[in-house]
Copies of this chain bind each other. A is one copy, B any other.
């Protein structure tokens, strides 16, 4: 797997080097391996994670703290998969799965609420747009 130095990653993601270090500092981005001389060596996993972060930040308008919680769930999922595999008792396994399911359902409903509100805003703007187009057409037919 290829490794990238900090500037490369920053450019690819449209972030600054400071931001990458900051995200690591607050525990939002898991630390990268270091080179002999102490340089950070990022992997594709880091880039993938950064895209998730930016997506949540820009699209959902989440604070970095909220992103922590939000992302930690999909991360926990990978983690939980190991745990779940290790659970021998079927009843306990079911409960663990149900727990994860519930969390995901909450996130889905949260996103659905946002989607609905965004669509409402879109409708409002479209209505304005429609009025303008109609007004233009009227002007142009009047002209003939």
Instruction: List residues of chain B with CB within 8 A of the CB of A58.
Output: 61, 117
Q: A77 on the interface (CB 8 Å rule)?
A: yes
Does the CB pair B60–A132 fall under 8 Å?
no
Across the interface, A129 reaches (CB within 8 A) one of B56, B94, B104, B128, namely B104
CA distance A11 to B142 in the complex (A): 49
CA distance A94 to B132 in the complex (A): 10
Does the CB pair B136–A97 fall under 8 Å?
yes
CA distance A122 to B117 in the complex (A): 15
Does the CB pair A60–B129 fall under 8 Å?
no
Does the CB pair B136–A101 fall under 8 Å?
yes
Q: A3 on the interface (CB 8 Å rule)?
A: no
User: Assuming A115-B118, A139-B94, is B104 touching A125 (CB within 8 A)?
Assistant: yes
Does the CB pair A90–B139 fall under 8 Å?
yes
Q: A1 on the interface (CB 8 Å rule)?
A: no
Does the CB pair A101–B125 fall under 8 Å?
no
| 6 interchain residue pairs of minimum CB distance | A61-B61, A104-B129, A59-B117, A101-B132, A97-B136, A111-B122
